[in-house]
Amino acid sequence: MIYNFLFPQYCRDRVISILILCLRVFFGVLFFTHGLDKLMNFNQLSETYPSVFGFGSYMTLMVSIFCEFCCSLFLISGFLLRITVIPMIISMAVAFFDIHDAMFPEGELSLIYLIMFLILFFTGPGRYSVDYLIDKNFKKDKDEEL
């Protein structure tokens, strides 16, 4: 059950997989730039960054950088995609509903990211991903044992 969740077998058609790859790379790079900006301006932002759920500005900024910088790299490569997008989904839900109070146009970008990460969560990484390679090698090793 967990295996099928991590390495979904559907959405592996070539055209669909190319589209998923394009979405992963495009939104991953855009999200990565937000995290890189936060990382480069860490000292200034750590004092003024909004505190969420009582974590304080410093800890909230650290979590944001993890979601935007680190998780984006996994998203682009398609490595453990379904686990990777969970913190990204939570981060964008908090940004849209809590930070921007679900208001437009302030929260529009976080809503776009939220919807895109939800779509990627449900579709999986597609054929052109590290997850696909892991699944392919795991199945090959399993077949050799039989």
pLDDT in tens, 37-91: 999 999 999 888 888 888 888 999 999 999 999 999 999 999 999 999 999 999 9
- Which amino acid is it at 113? Y
Is 31 among the domain residues?
A: yes
**Packing angle of the helix pair 57-65, 81-94 (nearest 10 deg):** 140
Q: Is residue 90 part of a domain?
A: yes
Q: What is the pTM of this model?
A: 0.86
Answer yes or no: is 40 within a domain. yes
* 103 domain residue, yes or no: yes
Residue by residue, DSSP assigns 59-95 as HHHHHHHIIIIIHHHHHHHTSSHHHHHHHHHHHHHHI
Residue 52 forms part of a structural domain: yes
Specify if 21 maps to a domain.
yes
- Whether the ω angle into residue 8 lies within 30 degrees of 0, i.e. cis, is no
* Domains in the chain, number: 1
Residue 112 belongs to domain spanning = 13-141
103-143 per-position pLDDT tens digit:
889 999 999 999 999 999 999 998 999 999 998 888 776 66
> Which pLDDT band, with edges at 50, 70 and 90, does 144 fall under?
low
On whether residue 8 sits in a domain, the answer given is no
What percent of the chain is modeled with pLDDT above 70?
94
Is residue 1 situated within a structural domain?
A: no
> How many CB atoms are closer than 10 A to CB 39?
14
Q: How far apart are CA 134 and CA 139, in angstroms?
A: 9
